[in-house]
Amino acid sequence: MGCDVLRVTLRGGGLPTVVLGTGETLWFGRAPHRALDDLDADHQLRATALALPLCAPHVSRVLGALEVGEEIVRLRWRGSTEAQLSSLFDAPGGARRVTVTEGMSALLDEGENALVVLRGRERETGVFDDLQVVLDVASQDPEPVGAPPERALPGEDGATAPAPRLEAQTREWFVALALAEPWLSGTDDYPRPPSNREIYERVLGWHGYAWNLDRSQRVDDSIRSISRLAFGPDDPFLQGGGRAQNVRFAIGRRAAEVRLVTVEDLERVEAAARNRNLPPS
């Protein structure tokens, strides 16, 4: 695709819009979060899992892994459930359609790719229809840090789902700021998410008081609360995501994407910390 920066937008009925960048991997299926436990620590940092809503019981727990490289986007199919992949791209003939089966991999074309699991969605008990996910691949510069994410999730009445909110200046709000800081400050190539100790020190430096965050369990408790608010029913902890340390990279990115905390929030706490530390005149 000839560009060092790739962006993949994943959307579908009932799904939050997910945006992936170069170097990231998304595992998806009926209950894919346990797949992250099998990855080494380095790969866990750049991987997230997404449970597809209303999956039929026969759909594989892990359907596939979407890998975003520097120049290609690869779909690795891991599930026993088959699906159809179709795309429309600038080439003679225009469209293609392939059936993906267990063990296959396919490169996604730039533009819109449709992935359809036949009879993969259960509308009601014993009533199935197709489960479709759209994967939009684009070569472009990343969006400006702090830009509102694409979350067009209209209900039947056309209303947009309300954005989640964290009460400013609370313990969880400060922890969310520490987790999301790489994305808010434009340093999202940060090699790892902050440790519990680093979160405590950041909150203490910003606020002058860090509640009981010097205890690791209290940091983990806050991270779980943030995750529940940021992901809603797709909360990785509800899906068996494991320890807080294993998913905090995804939680930090998500907190920035859904604007639980913003660039303006970060600027305000940093300014307050500078003013508090100024010597008296």
pTM: 0.48
Strand 25-29, strand 47-51: pairing: parallel
For the chain, give the percent of residues with pLDDT over 70.
77
- Rounded Cα–Cα distance for residues 169 and 221 (Å): 17
10 close to 108: Cβ distance less than 8 angstroms: no
Q: pLDDT, tens digit, for every residue of 233-262?
A: 778 877 665 555 568 888 888 888 888 899
Q: pLDDT, tens digit, for every residue of 63-79?
A: 999 999 888 999 999 98
Which of 5-19, 28-42, 154-168, 236-250 reaches the highest mean pLDDT? 5-19
Please, what is the end-to-end C-alpha distance for the chain in angstroms?
58
In CATH, what number does 6-139 get? 2.60.200.20
Domain ranges of the chain: 6-139, 171-276
Q: pLDDT, tens digit, for every residue of 191-227?
A: 577 889 999 999 999 988 888 898 888 899 899 889 8
Within 10 angstroms of residue 206's Cβ, the number of other Cβ atoms is: 19
131 close to 52: Cβ distance less than 8 angstroms: yes
112 close to 85: Cβ distance less than 8 angstroms: no
